[in-house]
């Protein structure tokens, strides 16, 4: 099963939950992908030994000035405004280029060829029985999605059907989160019982359940009785709350120093295994429901 | 007019709590305009109770749409697509809206003109009034692209308003991360305040966002939230900042009252307490750093 752990709001404990889940499933040799390529943190907790590294690049245009007639076709067709023609000169802005290849393909003079532009890297290794991989977007580069896409293509190429796969997402609800969730069987949203947590949970539910049609479960972290809005929302929306982690200074202090939750409180190992089993049931039910929908359509 | 942008790298370190507190403090002596540049998850409004004055639609990029009646199923579109966004559905091809990056490669290659590019209604942006000044904020619809473009729009609107009104300060609450929305939020800032926390993740992520600010040559200052959670990590963060020549302008203590005030919809600075005191002191330093006197 492939699980995406996401949140909407940042700092709710996605990595805390994902790391402890992976550690509690160590016997099943899980695969952990840290897809928060802007701020990858899981390696700080799992401390894997890295074995292989690849660069992530996009193919960007390079103009052959001898052939270029400055006709402006490339600038006209680029949807990202990554090429400008000023007088006789063609300017390329690599940070805006998505690497689609249209300019190269459509240049009437054949004056454009593509060169790789490195925007980040992906690495993989082992942390005991856990296979680990993460991506890193280079400083100053805007586009996270190609790094996530390469990371997933690299690590999910082999058959992972019989292994737990955990995808740790970035905060937010836009393209990097969608790229992480795509192809997952189930999504676990980690939230906190505050107005900010509730607002951003709603947004994350819109992406995972309403847009991507995936089954969604919820973990409430830093649980306290100050605010009941998240509980009420989950009940109204029929979202199962699969785990509650209390607001406890001891937990916060342990995590600050890089201790996984299941090392702070040993009892959590069994709780995380239960959490995984609940998610498996939801994933199965989700699959059955989608078969039923397809059958009804045809 | 000066522009102060609040960022963090890591999410959930307290950017919005700090932004709301600074808005309350700044408003006491200055005319300010606010912009919430976290368009995925805009939270500043939850504390400042904005009254929306105007709502505008945001049109993002375009995505491809294949007319199934015209499609001859040749598959050339799928061949040129580098985003795995074209799928075969029986005899014809269809676009995966979520994967499509709108490059139009398929539109140009289609031999029978079956593919057109369609603009996306990708979100909304708002102009609102709050007790501390006008607020510009936005909501990007679930799963949409172009968050950087919407951040730029929100900031631009806030900046124009600040210039029109002759305001002293544009205060921008930024998004987490280091990618396109963050770069859009940083653009044109006079100072970036990085809110971090004394955890190994907070320290790691702070160094990356400091790198981004340095890359774009934006001056920075750091504030450590929940500083007493780990004195060891807080000291390590101060040491890192010292090597980068970045001032640490405040250590806010861990205080459950921060959550209580958020639930009440009040900036933490409206009540007395250790966090409130630390933020007041930090604001004086920030104001000096921005080279802004007070008005009267």
Dump pLDDT digits (tens) for B69-99: 999 999 999 999 999 999 999 999 999 998 9
DSSP state of A180: H
Residue A143 sits at the chain B interface (C-beta within 8 Å): yes
Domain boundary among B121, B151, B168: B121
Q: What is the pLDDT of residue B257?
A: 87
Q: How many domains is chain B partitioned into structurally?
A: 2
| pLDDT tens for each residue of B35-51 | 999 999 999 999 999 99
Best of B86, B140, B142, B149 to substitute, by most chain A Cβ atoms within 10 angstroms, is: B142
Smallest CA–CA distance, residue B296 to chain A, in Å, is: 35
Q: Residues B138, B271: one domain?
A: yes
Q: Which of B16, B280, B296 is nearest to A197 (CA)?
A: B16
Q: Which residue is closest to A10 within chain B, CA to CA?
A: B11
Answer yes or no: do A144 and B216 touch at CB < 8 A.
no
Q: What is the pLDDT of residue B98?
A: 87
Q: Global pTM?
A: 0.94
Nearest Cβ partner of B12 from A11, A174, A256?
A: A11
Q: Residues B229, B110: one domain?
A: no
**Packing angle, helices A268-297 and A14-24, rounded to 10:** 100
**Is B242 exposed, middle or buried (CB count within 10 Å of its CB: 0-12, 13-18, 19+)?**
exposed
Q: Which of A183, A115, A200, A114 is nearest to A148 (CA)?
A: A183
Q: What is the pLDDT of residue A291?
A: 59
Which is it for strands A241-246 and B169-173: parallel, antiparallel or unpaired? Answer: unpaired
Contact B31, B103 (CB under 8 A): no
Q: Which residue shows structure tokens 């998850």?
A: B41
Nearest Cβ partner of A256 from B142, B145, B230?
A: B230
Q: What is the pLDDT of residue A162?
A: 84
The rounded distance, in Å, linking the Cα atoms of A86 and A72 is 9
Nearest Cβ partner of B103 from A102, A176, A247?
A: A102
Confidence band of B293 (pLDDT split at 50, 70, 90): low
Q: Is residue B296, in this structure, part of any structural domain at all? A: no
Q: Residues B7, B96: one domain?
A: no
Q: What is the pLDDT of residue B143?
A: 82
Backbone angles phi, psi at B35, to 5 degrees: -135, 130
Domain A1-25+164-293 and domain A57-118 have a common topology? no
The H or E element that residue B87 is part of is strand B86-89
Q: Which residue is closest to A228 within chain B, CA to CA?
A: B263
Alpha helices in chain A, H assignment, sequence order? 14-24, 42-46, 73-77, 102-106, 145-155, 175-181, 195-205, 229-237, 249-256, 261-264, 268-297
Identify the three-state secondary structure at position B165. Answer: helix
Q: Residues B165, B96: one domain?
A: no
Computed over every residue of chain B, the mean pLDDT equals 95
Answer yes or no: do B216 and A140 touch at CB < 8 A.
yes
What residue spans define the domains of chain A? 1-25+164-293, 57-118
Q: Which class is domain A1-25+164-293?
A: alpha beta
Q: Residues B210, B262: one domain?
A: yes
Which domain range does residue B159 map to? 2-49+131-289
Comparing B292 with A290, the larger pLDDT belongs to B292
Contact B5, B185 (CB under 8 A): yes
Answer yes or no: do A79 and B62 touch at CB < 8 A.
yes
Answer yes or no: do B142 and A206 touch at CB < 8 A.
yes
The rounded distance, in Å, linking the Cα atoms of A253 and B253 is 13
Cα dist. B188→B31, B155, B157 in Å?
A: 19, 10, 13
The H or E element that residue B151 is part of is helix B147-165
CATH number at residue B93: 3.30.70.20
The rounded distance, in Å, linking the Cα atoms of B206 and A64 is 41
Identify the three-state secondary structure at position B124. Answer: strand
Domain boundary among B121, B154, B169: B121
Q: Is residue B54, in this structure, part of any structural domain at all? A: no
Contact B44, B36 (CB under 8 A): yes
Q: Which residue is closest to A150 within chain B, CA to CA?
A: B83
How many CB pairs below 8 A link A and B? 205
Q: Is residue B274, in this structure, part of any structural domain at all? A: yes
Answer yes or no: do B178 and A137 touch at CB < 8 A.
yes
Question: Is domain A57-118 given the CATH code 3.40.50.720 in the classification?
Answer: no
Residue A206 sits at the chain B interface (C-beta within 8 Å): yes
DSSP A59-109: EEEEE-TTT-----HHHHH-TT--EEEETTEEEE-GGG-----HHHHH-TT
Q: Residues B168, B258: one domain?
A: yes
Smallest CA–CA distance, residue B103 to chain A, in Å, is: 6
Residue B296 has pLDDT above 50, yes or no: no
Q: Which residue shows structure tokens 């103009």?
A: A63
Q: Which residues of A touch B200 (CB under 8 A)?
A: 41, 44-45, 256-258
From first to last of the 298 residues of chain A, give the pLDDT tens digit. Answer: 999 999 999 999 999 999 999 999 999 999 999 999 999 999 999 999 999 999 999 999 999 999 999 999 999 999 999 999 999 999 999 999 999 999 999 999 999 999 999 999 999 999 999 999 999 999 999 999 999 999 999 999 887 888 999 999 999 998 999 999 999 999 999 999 999 999 999 999 999 999 999 999 999 999 988 899 999 999 999 999 999 999 999 999 999 999 999 999 999 999 999 999 999 999 998 777 765 555 554 4
Q: Which of B135, B179, B153 is nearest to B58 (CA)?
A: B153
Restricting to A residues 236-255, those with a Cβ less than 8 Å away from any Cβ of B are 247, 249, 252-253, 255
Backbone angles phi, psi at A11, to 5 degrees: 70, 20
Q: Which of A242-256, A282-296, B122-136, B195-209 has the lowest mean pLDDT?
A: A282-296
Contact B91, B17 (CB under 8 A): no
Q: Residues B235, B91: one domain?
A: no
DSSP state of B145: S
CATH number at residue B138: 3.40.50.300
Give the up-direction half-sphere exposure of residue B247: CA atoms within 13 A in the CB hemisphere.
12
Q: Which residues of A touch B176 (CB under 8 A)?
A: 10-11, 38-39, 170-172
Q: Residues B179, B115: one domain?
A: no
Contact B117, A144 (CB under 8 A): no
How many other CB atoms are found less than 10 A from the CB of residue A287? 13
Q: Residues B157, B235: one domain?
A: yes
Answer yes or no: do A200 and B204 touch at CB < 8 A.
no
Tokens of A132: 């680990």
Q: Residues B232, B262: one domain?
A: yes
Q: Residues B24, B148: one domain?
A: yes
Q: Which residues of B touch A45 (CB under 8 A)?
A: 200
Restricting to A residues 159-198, those with a Cβ less than 8 Å away from any Cβ of B are 170-178, 182, 194-196
The rounded distance, in Å, linking the Cα atoms of B61 and A28 is 43
DSSP state of A172: B
Smallest CA–CA distance, residue B124 to chain A, in Å, is: 14
Residue A87 sits at the chain B interface (C-beta within 8 Å): no
Nearest Cβ partner of B230 from A10, A144, A257?
A: A257
Answer yes or no: do B180 and A142 touch at CB < 8 A.
yes
Q: Which residues of A touch B16 (CB under 8 A)?
A: 196
Answer yes or no: do B40 and A174 touch at CB < 8 A.
yes
| pLDDT tens for each residue of A176-218 | 999 999 999 999 999 999 999 999 999 999 999 999 999 999 9
Q: Which of B53, B41, B289, B35 is nearest to B159 (CA)?
A: B35
DSSP B167-194: -SEEEEE--SSSSHHHHHHHTT-SEEEE
Q: Which residues of B touch A142 (CB under 8 A)?
A: 148, 179-180, 183
Q: Residues B88, B225: one domain?
A: no
């Amino acid at each position: 099963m492939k699980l995406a752990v996401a949140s909407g709001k940042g700092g709710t404990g996605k990595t805390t939950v994902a790391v402890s889940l992976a550690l509690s499933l160590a016997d099943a040799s899980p695969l952990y992908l840290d897809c928060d390529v802007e701020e990858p943190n899981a390696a700080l907790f799992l401390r894997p030994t890295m074995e292989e590294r690849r660069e992530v690049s996009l193919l960007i245009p390079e103009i052959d000035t001898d052939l270029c007639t400055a006709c402006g076709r490339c600038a006209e067709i680029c949807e990202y405004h990554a090429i400008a023609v000023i007088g006789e000169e063609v300017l390329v802005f690599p940070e805006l280029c998505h690497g689609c290849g249209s300019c190269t393909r459509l240049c009437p003079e054949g004056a454009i060829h593509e060169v790789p532009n490195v925007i980040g890297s992906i690495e993989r290794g082992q942390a005991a029985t856990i296979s680990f991989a993460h991506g890193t977007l280079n400083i100053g580069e805007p586009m996270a999605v190609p790094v996530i896409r390469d990371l997933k293509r690299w690590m999910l190429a082999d058959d992972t059907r019989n292994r737990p796969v955990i995808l740790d997402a970035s905060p937010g609800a836009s393209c990097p989160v969608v790229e992480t969730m795509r192809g997952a069987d189930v999504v676990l949203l980690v939230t906190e019982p505050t107005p900010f947590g509730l607002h951003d949970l709603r947004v994350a539910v819109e992406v995972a359940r309403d847009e991507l049609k995936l089954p969604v479960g919820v973990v409430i972290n830093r649980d306290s009785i100050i605010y009941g809005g998240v509980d009420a929302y989950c009940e109204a929306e029929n979202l199962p709350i699969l785990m509650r982690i209390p607001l406890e200074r001891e937990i916060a202090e342990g995590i600050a120093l890089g201790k996984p939750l299941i090392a702070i409180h040993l009892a959590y190992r069994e709780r995380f295994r239960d959490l995984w089993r609940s998610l498996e049931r939801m994933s199965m039910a989700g699959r059955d429901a989608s078969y039923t929908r397809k059958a009804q359509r045809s | 007019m000066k522009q102060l942008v609040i960022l963090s790298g890591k999410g959930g370190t307290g950017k919005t709590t700090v932004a709301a507190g600074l808005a309350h403090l700044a408003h006491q002596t200055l005319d300010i305009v606010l912009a919430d540049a976290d368009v995925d998850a805009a939270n500043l409004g939850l504390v400042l109770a904005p009254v929306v004055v105007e709502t505008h639609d945001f049109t993002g990029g375009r995505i491809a749409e294949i007319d199934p009646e015209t499609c001859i199923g040749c598959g050339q579109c799928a061949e040129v697509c580098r985003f795995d966004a074209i799928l075969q559905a029986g005899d014809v091809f269809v676009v995966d809206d979520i994967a499509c990056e709108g490059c139009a490669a398929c539109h140009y290659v289609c031999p029978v003109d079956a593919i057109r590019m369609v603009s996306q209604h990708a979100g909304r942006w708002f102009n609102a009034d709050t007790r501390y000044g006008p607020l510009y904020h936005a909501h990007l619809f679930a799963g949409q692209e172009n968050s950087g473009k919407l951040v730029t729009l929100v900031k631009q609107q806030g900046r124009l308003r600040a210039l029109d009104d002759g305001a002293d300060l544009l205060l921008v609450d930024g998004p987490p991360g280091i990618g396109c929305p963050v770069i859009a939020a940083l653009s044109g800032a006079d100072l970036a305040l990085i809110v971090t926390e004394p955890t190994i993740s907070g320290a790691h992520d702070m160094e990356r966002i400091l790198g981004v600010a340095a890359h774009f040559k934006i001056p920075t200052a750091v504030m450590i939230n929940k500083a007493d959670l780990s004195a060891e990590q807080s000291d390590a963060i101060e040491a890192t900042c010292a090597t980068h020549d970045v001032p640490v302008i405040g250590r806010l203590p861990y205080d459950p009252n921060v959550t209580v005030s958020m639930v009440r919809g009040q900036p933490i600075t409206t009540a007395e307490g250790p966090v409130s005191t630390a933020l007041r002191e930090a604001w004086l330093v920030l104001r000096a750093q921005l080279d802004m006197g007070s008005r009267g």
